[in-house]
Structures are given as C-alpha cells and as structure tokens.
Chain A
Amino acid sequence: MARCMESSVGTLDLSGEPSDLRVRGLAKSFDGFALKDVSFGVPRGSVVGLVGQNGAGKTTIMRGILGELAFDGGEVELFGQRLSGLDDAALRAVKSRVGFVSSVCAYPGEMSVAQVATMHYLAYPQFDHQLFEELAERMGLLPHDPRPHLSHAARKLVKDLSRGMGMKLQLACALACGASLLVMDEPTAGLDPIVREEVLDIIREYLEPGDKSVLISSHITSDLEHLADYVMMVDAGELLFSCEVSRIEDEMGLAQLRAAELEQVLRADERGFGPLRALRRSGVTALLVADRHAFGRQFPDYVCDPADIDDVMTLMVKGEVI
C-alpha cells in the first residue's frame, strides 16, 4: 500500500528522522483566507515539494517559516531549534543557514549585481564570494573574466535584469551563502525550459553531498517529479495530502472508467487497490487508486495508468471520496 496519509492534518510521519525544518500546527488568518493546523517536516538531505492551487497557502507557509510574517499559532523549528524561543543572536545564526529563492527578485532595484553579492557577504558569515562568481559565470550572470566583479555585467542594476537573470542572481547568492536548507517559492515560474533545466541541475548538484535540504513550491509538477523525494499538497489553507513521490509514480494509478465499469468496481467486495478519489467527466470517471497493481489484478480488463502529481492534485481537489 502506498505510504500516503490522507487526512485533514496531512502530516507525513517522519518523526523518527532528523529534520532541518519542522512545523507544527501552523495557523494564520487573513481576510477571506485562513491557514489551519499545518504540520510537516523536511528531513535532512531530502527535497520536499509543496503543491497547490493559486491562493492555497504555499507562499504564506514559506513566508512564515522565514519570519516574513508572524503566525497566529503553531511552531517553527529550524535545525532542531524553536524559533520562538531564540534571542536575536541565535535567530541570526539559525537564519544564516537558510537560503531563500523567490519567483520574483525582490532586491532593491537600484543595487547592482556586485552590490547584492556584497550585501550577502555582509549578512552571511559563510558567504563564499568565489563560489558566487563561479555560479554566476556558469549561469551567464557574469562574464568569464579574471575579475568578473569589475565587469559591466556586475554593475548591471537589479531593475534591469530579466526575470530569469533575477532568479539566477537569487540562486547564486543562496547557494554561495553556505545554506543547509534552501527554501524556494516557485523558483522556475516564468523561465524558459533551457534555463529551468539549468536551475534544476544546479539544485541537484547542491544536494549531492547529502546533508542539504530543499523545500520547494512549484506549479510545474514535472520539475518536482524529477527532483523531489516527497510532495505535499495544500488546499484552502489545509495540508490535504503528503506522500513520497516514488510511491505516486510506482504504485498509484488513474483508471478511466465508463459508468458500467465504475459500477462494477464500486460493487466489488474487496477494495485492495485503495480507491482514493473519483472525478466524473462527461461519461467517463477518472478513478485515483492507491495501488494500481492490485487494481490490475482485480480488474485485468480495465486500464489503469501510472498516476502523476498533476493527477493526484486534480483528483484530490475536484474529486469525491468513494
């Protein structure tokens, strides 16, 4: 059976594993939106993908983790330390181990590329300027030059950077600061496929040592399928679903059934295939099952294709429990 837990709490049971990030019972209310009792963890050395519709609460969760906004309730733990109990010096020390990349480059527009790097050098004790230059050259932000920090590109203002270049600047700074945890809020949004692949390659290299973690939200679920170890889905402020990505790919399935076929499936005495959700669409019902191999054994005449993250998202939000 797939290692998935579907509940209103939606916590993937990783309590036994060391986590770089752990959140418990997060709650936040705005006009017309509320984050309710969100709990999850990012195990050390793993990539956790966060998916959900626009306005589901992904960015709110990420902003709160990094202290951009204060939660109404709940607790955030970074590297085993509760943020609420830390004094200023300890809070700075913990935050210096976290790098953040957003879909929008929010550095002051009047700062240059070189000045942004210097700002990070002053903020992060472990900022590696040489690594920054190497990454920036590799991503085309700075030229191949003996002194790239003096180049015309280094003097380019943030407001004159394209969306892709702005994202690369953030990524280069986040990786060069020696972060053990990367928090990325839709980093590949609006990027062309070539740049997107470049960014994903760099993230994979960052993860190679095995002691770094990433929390990444994205609408581009194919990126998560290639990168993430775990995926969580947020909807209307609640954690709806959390699962290992491999389980979705290896075990879960999506069957397209006509009315009579669906009736036969529903009438079955045993449901070892673990039906999760059904979505009726003009004469055909899409049925999400937890174990497509068991479904195939029980109903060999019906086709059940491997599910992907998109299927799970759609069925979990729009489908009905059967």
Chain B
Amino acid sequence: MRSLLYADSCFALRRMKQYLLVALVIALVPVLLGVSRGSDPLDIPAAFQMMVGIVALYVMLFFTLCASFQADEMGGWERARLTLPVTRRDVVLGRYLFILLSLCSFDLVITLLGVASACLLPQAFPLMRDAFDLGGMLLAGAGSIAAFLALVSLQMPFLFMWGARRASFALSLPALIPLASMVIPKDAVALVARAAIVWVGSWGPWPVLLVCLLAAMVMYGLSALLSCVLYERREL
C-alpha cells in the first residue's frame, strides 16, 4: 500500500502549485472585489477565515480527487498497478488514506495561510478589523474536514465501482446541493437549522464538532469497506 500512496503523492505534488493557485484565485477574488469597492463594510477577517479557507479547501480536494481517479485510467495504470505485490484492497485503502491525508494537509496549509493573512491584511486595508478569531478559523477548518469527509464518503464508492469516466456524476455531487435546496421544503430546512442551533447552543461548538468529526470518520471508514467490496468485483 505504501507504494500506491507514494505514487498518488508524486502525482499530486506535481500538480499542487496549480491547484493552490486556482483555489486561492477562486476564493480571494470575491473578497478583494468587496474590499476594493469599499461600500460594504465587509467583515474581512471572518469572510477570509470562513469563505476563503472553505472554498480553497474544497477546490483543492476536488482537483485531487478528480485527478487521482482520472490518472488511474490513463495509459493502463489502473491495471498495471495490480502487477505490483498489492491487492485490490490495498488499492482502495491506499486511495482513502491518500485523500484523508491530502484533506488534512490542505486544511493545515490553508489555516496557516489564513492566520498569516488575517495578521497582515488589516495593515494593508483600513476597512479590515484588527482582531481575528483564531478559534473560529480552527472551528471552520475542522468543520470543513468533517463536511468534506462526509461528501467524499458518498463519492468514492461510485468511483471505485465504475471509474472516473463512468462515474463522473459522482464528482459533480456537490453541484447538486443547490438543486436539492430547491426541492426540499424550506420549512423542513428551517426546522433542522433551528434544531441544530439549539443543539450547538446547549453543548457548545467544540463538543458538537468532535461528534461531527467522529461521525464523519465512521462514515469514511464504512465507505472504504463498501468500496473494497465493489472494487473486488469490478472488471477493469
């Protein structure tokens, strides 16, 4: 499994600069546009902490996930790697481990960038507040890991069952979320949101986050087991 993890890492590291650049452009442009207009007193540190970090993290994860599965199908690597002393289970678990490590690494890098920017940007832009909420930043970072782990848990079994080409719909799953919001009744959404706010209020954000992280990890583990079964049966 180490060899497959290494192969995935080599591929990802070679693309890392472009992923990071694209992610930061996507995340930063709306923020900087708002700052340059100056009309809306944007809460830049909070916006930067929340939006930039989350968006950048998601974009990098999306690229990494797409690219790694698409690379499998280029040049016959998907079949050739099975000639190494690895099993199909190693292939699946290696990819799950790679995505998890990537997610945590990206989150760490983006959080550090966020902390550095939140310290430096108020000096350059007068509209920005001096104070920044480190706790909020870390909360957002950890919460993002839980949310994206849950998302990837839904996507990966399809990708292992059918491959990137046939299961491209799974990669576009996040795009379906806005569509789902149009279908699900607004009253139901409001009810769930109020219950969540009450729950968070009574427990505090960090215990709730811990529960969410644990739940996401369990979901990720179950997804891995399912993927092992599906990949074992797949005709390459």
CB pair B87 A109 closer than 8 Å: no
Tell me which of B5-13, B18-26, B173-181 binds A: B5-13
CB pair B79 A68 closer than 8 Å: yes
Q: List 22 A-B contacts (CB under 8 A).
A: A67-B83, A68-B79, A68-B236, A69-B235, A91-B87, A95-B84, A104-B75, A108-B7, A108-B11, A108-B71, A108-B75, A109-B74, A109-B75, A110-B10, A110-B11, A110-B71, A111-B11, A115-B10, A119-B3, A119-B6, A124-B85, A183-B83
CB pair A107 B80 closer than 8 Å: yes
Within 8 A of A (CB), among B72-131: 74-77, 79-80, 82-87, 89-90
Q: How many residues of A contact B (CB 8 A)?
A: 33
Within 8 A of B (CB), among A84-105: 88, 91-96, 98, 100, 102, 104-105
Binding site for A on B (CB under 8 A): 2-3, 6-7, 10-11, 14-15, 71, 74-77, 79-80, 82-87, 89-90, 235-236
CB pair B82 A68 closer than 8 Å: yes
Write the chain B residue with the least CB distance to A119: B3
* Most interface-central of B75, B77, B84 (chain A CB within 10 A): B84
CB pair B80 A69 closer than 8 Å: no
| Sample of 11 further A-B pairs with CB below 8 A, known A104-B76, A123-B85 | A68-B80, A69-B236, A70-B235, A88-B89, A91-B85, A92-B87, A95-B86, A102-B76, A106-B80, A119-B84, A123-B3
Q: List chain A residues, Cβ under 8 A from B80.
A: 68, 100, 102, 106-107
CB pair A122 B87 closer than 8 Å: no
Count of CB-CB pairs between chains A and B under 8 Å: 87
**4 pairs of A and B residues whose beta carbons are closest in the complex:** A106-B80, A123-B3, A95-B85, A96-B85
Q: List chain B residues, Cβ under 8 A from A69.
A: 79, 235-236
Write the chain B residue with the least CB distance to A118: B6
CB pair B236 A119 closer than 8 Å: no
Instruction: State the CA gap A105–B81 with chains docked (Å).
Output: 11
Write the chain B residue with the least CB distance to A89: B87
Instruction: State the CA gap A94–B83 with chains docked (Å).
Output: 11
* Residue interface mask A203-245, B partner, CB < 8 A = 1: 0000000000000000000000000000000000000000000
Instruction: State the CA gap A208–B202 with chains docked (Å).
Output: 76
A67 with B6: in contact, given A106-B76, A109-B74, A111-B11 (CB under 8 Å)? no
User: Which of these, B14, B79, B89, contacts A106 with CB under 8 Å?
Assistant: B79
Instruction: State the CA gap A320–B205 with chains docked (Å).
Output: 83
Interface presence of A44 (CB below 8 A): no
Instruction: State the CA gap A183–B76 with chains docked (Å).
Output: 17
Q: List chain B residues, Cβ under 8 A from A115.
A: 6-7, 10
Distance in Å from the Cβ of B106 to the closest Cβ of chain A?
Answer: 19
Interface presence of A120 (CB below 8 A): yes
Distance in Å from the Cβ of B90 to the closest Cβ of chain A?
Answer: 8
User: Which of these, B3, B10, B82, contacts A67 with CB under 8 Å?
Assistant: B82
Interface presence of A247 (CB below 8 A): no
Instruction: State the CA gap A70–B88 with chains docked (Å).
Output: 12
